[in-house]
Structure 1
Amino acid sequence: MSLINERQDFADIADTFLLHGSMQSPAFLDGRLCAALALHDLSAEAWLEMVCLGLGVEQPRDEPAAERLLGWRRQTLEALSASEMSYEPLLPDDLFSLAERAQGLKDWTLGFMEVVEEAGDAPRKAWSEALREAIDDLAGLAAIETDLDDSPENENDLFALTEHARMAAMLLYTEQHPSQPQVEQVEDPESQPKH
């Protein structure tokens, strides 16, 4: 079976990073990927360039590695554009400690916010109030405490924060791609050009 059709998870991508000599978490680049797909319709070529830059290499080491990295972009795009709202940030799973999972969410948020901030104020002007609030709240996530003990309370808090990041990402994508069938068109008088 081809790698292209397999669902990539955090460990798969982390292993691919290791093959390229990188110990960094995929979460940061996943945050960047998500925001770049929403704001810039990031192409496959531009994505490979972004990943290679992040990994400090000129190109993926081989065809399977390139396929895996492209599959990561494809599955993220499919999940963001799916009507069932199935997008999940690529984060460490339950096999990792709560502190490692919190660090993953922080890394993801930093990557996501970096792309949002690089885009400047122009896209923000067309955003709904709900999206602006979600993105502003997300900026606060970049400062979360990651030195967490494994406790049910911390687990619930982290789940809620992760859910907020997930919803903010989907809201950004759907507002930037209003032709998606699940998004209702709302005429906003504020977005009309002023004379």
Structure 2
Amino acid sequence: MTESSSSNIFEALQHGLTQAKSVQTPGEVHGTLTGMLCIDNAARGAQAVEDVESDMLDSALDALREMTLEGLFDPDLSFKPLLPDDEVELERRVQALARWCAGFLYGLSADGEFDLSRLSAEVREVVGDLTELSRAGLTAEDSDGESAEGDYAELVEYVRVGVQMIFLELQPKREGPAKRESLH
């Protein structure tokens, strides 16, 4: 996903969610969808939005699902969480990142099959960190200067790589037609 395409997707999803009177944010929906896809890569996009039904929104979510899976399965690790552009004030971006993480954790556990104890220690640590990030906020002194922007960028990169690790650990264990095939 390029920077401008993710911006367009974020705005389109925001518009669709608003039109459908959903209380969820685009980041939260993408996080939920990504978590669901880590457990079952056959999950449908519409499963990530619980409070509304809209055919237009469903087709947009299916497109988001395809782009998300493409990024997660990409050997170059191109997955990116769907978050507001860098032009948006830092406080709103931090809130969006926290909601993305909360959505992701919800998506992981939504079907009741997620068992943290079966994961490697490294991935369990990432899940713990994402839990902490789901409660992230910004204080007045945190929001000043370039260091805050750099810290935010590092957090987004950590989430991106951490989610990729979770996906790669969970997906090879999947059974059935949706199982990821490896090339030798």
- Could you state the TM-score of these two structures normalised by the residue count of structure 1? 0.76
Name the aligned partner's letter for residue 84 of structure 2: P
Instruction: Supply the distance in 2 between the matched residues of 1:180 and 1:151 (Cα, whole angstroms).
Output: 46
Further displaced range: 19-28 or 108-117: 19-28
Residue of structure 2 equivalent to 1:161: 155
Name the aligned partner's letter for residue 137 of structure 2: E
Instruction: Supply the distance in 1 between the matched residues of 2:114 and 2:92 (Cα, whole angstroms).
Output: 35
Residue of structure 1 equivalent to 2:54: 59
Name the aligned partner's letter for residue 31 of structure 1: G
Instruction: Supply the distance in 2 between the matched residues of 1:13 and 1:66 (Cα, whole angstroms).
Output: 10
1:101-180, aligned counterparts within 5 Å? 101-118=93-110, 123-147=115-139, 148-178=142-172, 179=180
Residue of structure 1 equivalent to 2:46: 48
Instruction: Supply the distance in 1 between the matched residues of 2:12 and 2:83 (Cα, whole angstroms).
Output: 11
Conserved? CA contact 2:48–2:107, under 8 Å: no
Q: In 2 relative to 1, CA 14–106 (structure 1 residues): closer, same or farther, beyond 3 Å?
A: same
- Could you state the TM-score of these two structures normalised by the residue count of structure 2? 0.80
Number of aligned residues: 170
Q: Which runs of 5+ in 2 are unaligned?
A: 173-179
User: Structure 1 residue 18: deviation in Å?
Assistant: 2.4
Instruction: Supply the distance in 2 between the matched residues of 1:170 and 1:159 (Cα, whole angstroms).
Output: 17
Residue of structure 1 equivalent to 2:10: 10
Further displaced range: 113-122 or 67-76: 113-122
Q: Does residue 26 of structure 1 match 2:18?
A: no
SS for the counterpart of 1:57 is coil
Instruction: Supply the distance in 2 between the matched residues of 1:160 and 1:181 (Cα, whole angstroms).
Output: 31
Residue of structure 1 equivalent to 2:177: none
Conserved? CA contact 1:113–1:139, under 8 Å: yes
Q: In 2 relative to 1, CA 110–128 (structure 1 residues): closer, same or farther, beyond 3 Å?
A: same
Instruction: Supply the distance in 1 between the matched residues of 2:112 and 2:128 (Cα, whole angstroms).
Output: 14
Q: Deviations over 1:45-92 (max 9, x none)?
A: xx31432x2xx33333x4xx4332211111001101111100000001
Identity of aligned residues (%): 27
User: Structure 1 residue 139: deviation in Å?
Assistant: 1.0
Q: In 2 relative to 1, CA 89–118 (structure 1 residues): closer, same or farther, beyond 3 Å?
A: same
Residue of structure 1 equivalent to 2:74: 82
Q: Which runs of 5+ in 1 are unaligned?
A: 1-5, 183-195
